C-alpha cells in the first residue's frame, strides 16, 4: 500500500514534466518569424526597373540586396532570379570573370528549384561567359547541359544555335554548318525573322570560311532581313561578316561595311563589335585614316578597360557591402536567439530543479516509510524467532529440569543430607540454564566492556567435556569496529558455539582472531562429527550467521565433512 501511494504522484509529476518539456520544445522549434517576402519582391522589382533603364549599377545593387535578405531554405527561386540578373549585368559590363563567379554561385540552388527555366538561364549565362573568356570546351559543356533540360522547343533551338557559334569560334565550320542547316530548315526558326536572320548569317559566314561561294548569298539574305527588322545590334554583326568577306577581294567595299558596322555597334552600345569594326577599319584604311583609327582604337580600348575595371570594383564592393550587412544582421539575430535560448535554458533548468526537489522529497518520504515498514517487519520477525527459540529452550531444557526436580522433591526424603545435596545441584543447574538463556537474548554491551563480555560468552561454553581455545583476541583494535559490527561478531560466534554444543560432540574448539589488511578475519574450527555440506543450509543457526555477515558486506565460508570436524572463516570490513 505504501509503495502504491508514493509511486503514483511521482508518475503524475514525471508525466507533467515531460508534457511541459514537450510544449517548450514546440515553442522553440516553431518561432513566429517575420516574413521578408514583400521587401524582397520590392527590391527585385526595383532592380528590374533599373535594368530596363540600363542603370546597371543600381540594378545590381537592388538585386544583391534582395538576395542577401533571402532565406536559402525557403527563397531559393528568388535567389536564383537575382543571381541570374546580377550575372547578366556583369556580362553586359564586360566583367566576365565576375559574371562566371555569380552564375556558379547559383548552381547549388538549382538542386532545390523545381523550375527548369532558372537552370536554363544559368547554363546559358555560363555558356556565354566562357565564350567571351575563350574557354570553348566549358561553353559547350554548359550549352549541352541546357539542351538536355526539359524545356520548350524554342529554347532548345537557341541552345543549338549557340553550340554552332562555339564551333565557329573553334573553327570547326563543318560541325557548325551541320547544326545551322538543320536549324535553317525548321519552321519555328523560319517564322521568326530575328532568329532566322542570325542562323543564315552564321551559316553564310561558315560557308565563306570553308571556301564555298554560296556563303555570300546567305549573308546578303540575312542583311536584308535584319534591315527589315531594324535591329542595330544584329546589323553590326552582318556588316562585320561582310567586311571580312570583302577584305581581300574588295578593300573599298570592306572599308564601307566596316564603317557601317562601327556606326551600328556604337548605336547599340556593343563595345566588342565597336572594337572589332575599328580593327577592321585600320586594316582596310591607309595613311592618315589608318592612323586616326589606330588612335581611336587605343583610346576606346583604354576607356573600355577602365570602365570594365571600375564596374568590376563597383560590383565587388556592392557584393561585399551586402555580404557584410547580411553578416551583421545575422550576428544580431544570432545574439538575440542565443539570449532567448539562454533564458529558455534557465527556465527549463529551474523547472527541472523544482521537479528534482519534488521527486527527491517524495522519494525521501517513500524511502522513510518503506525502510520503516521493512525495519518493523524485521523486528517482528526477529522477535518471533527469539520468542520461538526461547520457548523451545524453555520447553526442551529448562522445563525438563524443573519437572525432574519437582518429581525428585515429591518422591524423595529431603531430610536426608544426600537428597538435599542432589536437590541443590539440580536447582543450580536450573539457575545456570536460566542465566544462559537470559545472556543469549540480553542486550550486548558494545562499549568498554565489550571484550570482557565476549570472552565471558565464549568461556561459558567451556565444560568438562569441551575446551574452547581463544587466540589473538587482544591484538584486535576493537575500538575501530563499528557498534553494529561488534554485535554481529558477538552473535555469529554465539551461533557457532551453540551449533557446536548441539551438534558437534567435539572435545576441542578453536577461535582465532587476526587482522588482514582492512578486514577482521575470525577462524572457527572444532574436532566434532562435522556434517555434509548440503545439510548446513538446513540449520537455522548457520543460515542466520551467513545472513548477518552478508548484511555488512562481509564474507563467510564453511568447510565440513562427516567425521572430519567443522570449520568456518568469516571476514568483516573494519
Q: Are 153 and 172 in contact (CB under 8 A)?
A: no
Element (H, E) at 37: helix 37-52
Which three three-digit cell numbers place residue 261?
558596322
514-541 residue pLDDT tens? 988 889 999 999 999 887 766 665 555 6
pLDDT of residue 206: 96
Q: Which of 23-32, 33-42, 264-273, 532-541 has the highest mean pLDDT?
A: 264-273
> CA 395, CA 389: separation in Å to the nearest integer?
10
pLDDT at 16 over 50: no
User: Is the pLDDT score of 26 beyond 60?
Assistant: no
- 92-119 per-position pLDDT tens digit: 888 888 899 999 999 988 887 667 888 8
Q: How do the residues of the chain divide into helix, strand and coil, expressed in percent and rounded to 5?
A: 75, 5, 20
Q: Which of 19-33, 109-123, 211-225, 325-339 has the highest mean pLDDT?
A: 211-225
Highest-confidence segment of 163-172, 361-370, 394-403, 482-491: 163-172
Average pLDDT over residues 14-37: 47
The pLDDT of residue 406 is: 81
- pLDDT over 60 (residue 70): yes
pLDDT at 2: 38
pLDDT at residue 6 is higher than 50: no
The 8 Å CB, 24+ separation contacts for 319-322 are 319/64, 322/64, 322/65, 322/67, 322/68
Query: What secondary structure does DSSP assign to 258-302, as a single string?
Result: HHHHHHHHHHTT-HHHHHHHHHHHHHH--HHHHHHHHHHHHHHHH
Q: Which of 10-14, 136-140, 408-412, 450-454 has the lowest mean pLDDT?
A: 10-14
- Work out the angle between the directed axes of helices 215-229 and 232-246 (0-180°, nearest 10): 160
Task: Give residue 31's pLDDT.
Answer: 43
Output the average pLDDT for the chain: 82
What share of the chain has pLDDT > 70, as a percent? 80
The number of angstroms, rounded, from the C-alpha of 303 to the middle of its chain's C-alpha atoms is 56
Sheet holding 467-471, edge to edge: 467-471, 508-516, 519-526, 566-573, 555-560
Is the confidence at residue 441, as pLDDT, over 80?
A: no
User: How much is the pLDDT for 221?
Assistant: 95
Q: Is the pLDDT of residue 495 over 70?
A: yes
User: Distance between CA 220 and CA 197 in Å, rounded?
Assistant: 10
Amino acid at each position: 500500500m505504501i509503495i502504491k501511494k508514493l509511486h503514483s504522484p511521482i508518475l503524475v509529476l514525471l508525466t507533467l514534466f515531460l508534457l511541459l518539456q514537450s510544449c517548450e520544445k514546440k515553442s522553440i522549434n516553431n518561432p513566429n518569424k517575420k516574413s521578408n517576402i514583400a521587401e524582397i519582391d520590392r527590391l527585385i522589382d526595383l532592380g528590374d526597373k533599373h535594368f530596363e533603364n540600363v542603370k546597371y549599377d543600381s540594378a545590381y545593387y537592388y538585386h544583391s540586396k534582395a538576395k542577401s535578405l533571402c532565406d536559402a531554405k525557403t527563397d531559393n527561386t528568388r535567389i536564383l532570379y537575382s543571381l541570374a540578373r546580377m550575372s547578366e549585368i556583369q556580362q553586359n559590363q564586360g566583367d566576365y570573370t565576375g559574371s562566371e563567379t555569380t552564375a556558379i554561385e547559383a548552381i547549388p540552388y538549382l538542386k532545390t528549384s523545381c523550375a527548369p527555366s532558372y537552370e536554363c538561364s544559368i547554363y546559358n549565362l555560363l555558356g556565354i561567359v566562357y565564350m567571351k573568356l575563350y574557354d570553348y570546351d566549358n561553353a559547350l559543356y554548359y550549352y549541352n547541359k541546357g539542351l538536355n533540360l526539359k524545356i520548350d522547343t524554342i529554347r532548345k533551338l537557341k541552345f543549338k544555335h549557340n553550340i554552332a557559334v562555339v564551333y565557329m569560334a573553334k573553327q570547326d565550320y563543318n560541325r557548325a554548318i551541320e547544326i545551322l542547316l538543320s536549324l535553317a530548315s525548321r519552321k519555328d526558326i523560319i517564322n521568326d525573322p530575328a532568329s532566322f536572320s542570325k542562323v543564315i548569317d552564321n551559316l553564310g559566314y561558315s560557308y565563306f570560311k570553308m571556301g564555298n561561294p554560296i556563303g555570300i548569298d546567305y549573308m546578303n539574305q540575312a542583311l536584308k532581313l535584319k534591315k527589315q527588322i531594324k535591329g542595330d545590334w544584329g546589323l553590326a554583326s552582318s556588316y562585320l561578316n561582310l567586311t571580312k568577306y570583302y577584305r581581300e577581294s574588295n578593300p573599298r567595299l570592306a572599308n564601307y561595311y566596316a564603317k557601317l558596322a562601327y556606326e551600328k555597334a556604337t548605336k547599340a552600345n556593343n563595345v566588342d563589335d565597336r572594337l572589332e569594326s575599328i580593327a577592321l577599319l585600320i586594316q582596310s584604311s591607309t595613311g592618315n585614316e589608318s592612323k586616326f583609327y589606330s588612335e581611336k582604337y587605343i583610346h576606346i580600348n583604354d576607356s573600355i578597360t577602365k570602365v570594365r575595371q571600375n564596374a568590376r570594383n563597383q560590383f565587388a564592393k556592392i557584393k561585399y557591402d551586402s555580404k557584410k550587412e547580411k553578416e551583421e544582421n545575422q550576428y544580431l539575430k544570432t545574439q538575440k536567439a542565443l539570449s532567448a535560448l539562454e533564458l529558455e535554458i534557465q527556465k527549463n533548468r529551474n523547472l527541472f530543479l523544482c521537479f528534482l526537489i519534488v521527486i527527491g522529497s517524495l522519494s525521501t518520504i517513500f524511502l522513510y516509510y518503506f525502510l520503516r515498514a521493512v525495519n518493523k517487519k524485521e523486528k517482528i520477525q526477529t522477535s518471533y524467532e527469539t520468542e520461538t527459540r526461547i520457548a523451545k529452550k524453555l520447553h526442551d531444557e529448562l522445563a525438563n529440569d524443573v519437572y525432574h526436580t519437582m518429581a525428585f522433591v515429591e518422591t524423595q526424603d529431603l531430610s536426608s543430607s544426600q537428597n538435599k545435596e542432589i536437590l541443590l545441584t539440580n536447582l543450580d543447574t536450573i539457575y545456570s540454564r536460566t542465566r544462559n538463556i537470559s545472556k543469549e537474548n540480553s542486550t550486548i554491551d558494545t562499549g568498554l566492556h565489550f571484550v570482557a563480555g565476549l570472552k565471558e560468552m565464549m568461556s561459558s561454553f567451556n565444560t568438562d567435556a569441551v575446551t574452547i581455545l581463544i587466540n589473538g583476541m587482544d591484538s584486535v583494535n576493537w575500538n575501530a569496529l563499528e557498534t553494529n559490527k561488534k554485535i554481529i561478531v558477538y552473535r555469529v560466534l554465539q551461533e557457532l558455539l551453540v551449533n557446536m554444543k548441539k551438534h558437534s560432540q567435539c572435545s576441542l574448539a578453536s577461535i582465532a582472531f587476526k587482522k588482514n589488511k582492512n578486514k577482521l578475519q575470525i577462524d572457527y574450527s572444532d574436532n566434532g562429527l562435522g556434517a555434509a555440506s548440503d545439510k548446513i543450509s538446513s540449520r537455522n543457526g548457520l543460515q542466520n550467521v551467513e545472513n548477518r555477515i552478508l548484511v555488512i558486506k562481509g564474507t563467510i565460508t564453511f568447510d565440513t565433512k562427516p567425521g572430519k570436524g567443522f570449520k568456518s572463516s568469516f571476514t568483516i570490513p573494519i
